[in-house]
Amino acid sequence: MIDIKFLRENPDAVKENIKKKFQDHKLHLVDEVIELDAKNREAKLNGDELRSKRNSLSSEIGNLMKQGKKEKAENIKKQVSEINEKLLENEKLEEEYGMQITERMMKIPNIIHESVPIGKDDSQNVEIQKFGDPIVPSYEIPYHTDIMEALEGIDLDSARRVAGNGFYYLMGDIARLHSAVISYARDFMISKGFTYCVPPFMIRSNVVTGVMSFEEMDAMMYKIEGEDLYLIGTSEHSMIGKFKDQILPKENLPYTMTSYSPCFRKEKGAHGIEERGVYRIHQFEKQEMIVVCEPEDSYKWYEKLWSYTVELFRSMEIPVRTLECCSGDLADLKAKSCDVEAWSPRQQKYFEVGSCSNLTDAQARRLGIRIKGEKGNYYAHTLNNTVVAPPRMLIAFLENHYQEDGSITIPEVLWPYMGGTKILKPKK
């Protein structure tokens, strides 16, 4: 959510930002907010005047009673009673205007960074840099679930019977590899100075609406029936929610945390919860990183965060590239974002394995996360980034380490997490 003062003083800039995000259907919200804001400020001013008049009359009542002018005092009491009724009506009006303003402000997208390329959708994202050589071997690489099945590491048929499409059983060496990568990612981030955390896997609705837009919420979140609780789609949700309504001591910043969690997503509108693959699924596990920092430091942290994901994948000998997300591909709260994509030698193209975002103060405004400054409190900046998200990562891992005989080589960084195993050999 952007600063209403900024919107009030720069309505044309806010409208231009909406146009850059190709959301012209939201342009009317700016004028509506300005109109409602003017009415709300008028109501607040009226309330202040009524309270001032009431205070003055209340003092006069006391003086009159001391002078024995009881009848005159009673008449003034009636005036005070009338003012109280007007105040109640005025306060209801203020509350109604406030709710209407917030409802509209929550739909207006965050101001994008000046460096963000303008484009309508993800087809217009811009490649920034490649890391590692994307190699295509001379032999054929099977589909990732075929590789897993040859290692007796996945059972999709049983998962469909138990839960339907979009779920899986990982087993044996593949399950161990999955856990090994998560553990390695955890220790990798701890080595970067991040505090490890296992957060709640459910959050309340006021946290959900604080960390994402209504459109994202509807498309992603599973609600617990009969409870004010949602299953998290990523641990970023509960990690940022940890700071809700907090005033943070300036000397304690930045907060840098890395979190493990299962993630649950409806994937509403997705073509295809695949029957065979594990690229787009309803349930997966993830290592995440979040930062809560001073406003002037957020873009320094942004550069650090995505570079950590690149470093992690390169340490596992997987080629990657970074893509700058264009304006139309940015979720409403994001000011700037980039995707990390891993090389698929089977498809001979890159695919997304992580996303890094700077939300500036948009989340902090929604959640009330402020910093206690010397000259007053101000909103923090928040960032999030994927460290690694198996089993999508397993696709890149298996394809890039697949050998002609069907075996999978394990990079040295994972040997301690695999009990010293250096190669996985097919059982089928």
Please return the burial class of 403, using the count of CB atoms within 10 Å of its CB with bins 0-12, 13-18 and 19+.
middle
Cα 281 to Cα 267: distance, rounded to the nearest angstrom = 8
Tens-level pLDDT at each residue, the chain (428 residues): 899 999 999 999 999 999 999 999 999 999 999 999 999 999 999 999 998 888 888 878 777 777 777 778 878 888 888 899 999 999 999 999 999 999 999 999 999 999 999 999 999 999 999 999 999 999 999 999 999 999 999 999 999 999 998 899 999 999 999 999 999 999 999 999 999 999 999 999 999 999 987 778 888 899 999 999 999 999 999 999 999 999 999 999 999 999 999 999 987 554 455 556 888 889 999 999 999 999 999 999 999 999 999 999 999 999 999 999 999 999 999 999 999 999 999 999 999 999 999 999 999 999 999 999 888 999 999 999 999 998 889 999 999 999 999 999 999 999 999 999 999 999 87
What does DSSP say about strands 247-249 and 230-231: parallel, antiparallel, or unpaired?
Answer: unpaired
Q: Which residues contact 180 (CB under 8 A, 6 or more apart)?
A: 414, 417, 418
Residue 92 three-state SS:
helix
Task: Quote the tokens at residue 249.
Answer: 């001591």
Identity of the residue numbered 242: K
Stated pTM of the model: 0.90
Cα 77 to Cα 62: distance, rounded to the nearest angstrom = 10
Helix (H) or strand (E) holding 398: helix 392-400
Cα 17 to Cα 182: distance, rounded to the nearest angstrom = 38
Residue 179 three-state SS:
helix
For the chain, list the domains and their CATH numbers: 4-105 (1.10.287.40), 122-424 (3.30.930.10)
pLDDT at 275: 54
pLDDT at 151: 97
Task: Quote the tokens at residue 331.
Answer: 């979720």
Identity of the residue numbered 157: D
Task: Residue count of the chain, please give it.
Answer: 428
